A = this chain, B = another copy of it.
Amino acid sequence: LLTQAQRERLEIVLVSPRNPLNIGAAARAMANFGFSRLTVVAPYEPHWREARSAVGAPEILGHAREAPSLAEAVRDCVFVAGTGTLTSRQPDQPALSLSGSATAFFADTDLTGRAALVFGPEKHGLTRDDLSYCHAMITIPTDERQPSMNLGQAVAVCLYELVRPGDAPPAAGRQTEQAIQAANSGQLDRLAELIEETMTGAGYSPRAMQPANRHDLRVLLRRLAPSALDTRRMMGLFRRILHRLPHGDRRA
């Protein structure tokens, strides 16, 4: 079973939830399984207000963070997993079966760093862009004839899996030196921006900097999973390159 400290390291992130009942149900499932940290990304304000002011609203909603974007929400996380089904997409990230995911959250990640479990909006789930901020995609083994789960139920099922006693040994102290220093999402985003700036400075056409390339760069950095130290080194390298470029001295 997870320790209280492990549960507190996990942030539950709801991206643009619409239905106040679903928001309440997600918070209730968190309370049922002993999780307390909730972030809501760009909620539809009237419904978010309604969810928070509902009679008997879980206390968790009163303490929830609001973030303008998913990038902001997971900025300080060293492991971010998005949820979804594989039926209609081929993700750019490694797909993990939910039943094996406790290890990814609590054994392979950093003891001090934070982790996030991200759920998409009710209608369509997480977009490809949302997933580009994720290190992995977690798939729930739903029936292909009815793959799409209700948001509150999906949260309940995922959190149950994480606290479920059984095959996942949530080891404390098994982490390597390297894992303890994993770069967080914000550091990776800053590195990506610097690389992009460098490429522009090096004369890449603006066309090469289209959203598709930004997307690929975010995905690539998460796949490489550099440590915080590696990330700082790469930042240093790109700053130096940028500095040497003819019009690249803005950051010098």
Contacts and interface: CB of A to CB of B under 8 A. Distances in A.
Contacts of A150: 25, 28-29, 152, 156
Given A99-B165, A156-B156, 11 more contacts: A21-B21, A25-B152, A28-B153, A29-B150, A31-B143, A32-B146, A32-B148, A33-B143, A58-B146, A99-B166, A161-B164
A157 interface: yes
Interface of A: 1, 21, 25, 28-29, 31-34, 58, 97-99, 140-143, 145-150, 152-154, 156-157, 160-161, 163-167
**For the complex formed by this chain, how many copies does it contain in all?**
2
A32 B145 CA distance: 8
Nearest to A163: B141
5 contacts: A25-B150, A28-B150, A34-B145, A99-B166, A154-B156
A197 to B, nearest CB: 45
B141 A149 contact: no
B97 A145 contact: no
Contacts of A145: 31, 34
A161 B1 CA distance: 16
Contacts of A97: 165
A140 B32 CA distance: 10
A165 to B, nearest CB: 6
Given A165-B99, A165-B141, A167-B166, A31 B146 contact: yes
Nearest to A159: B157
A32 B149 CA distance: 7
A147 B32 contact: yes
Contact of A157 (B21, B157, B167): B157
A149 B98 CA distance: 21
A149 B146 CA distance: 23
Given A21-B21, A153-B152, A166-B99, A34 B160 contact: no
A231 to B, nearest CB: 35
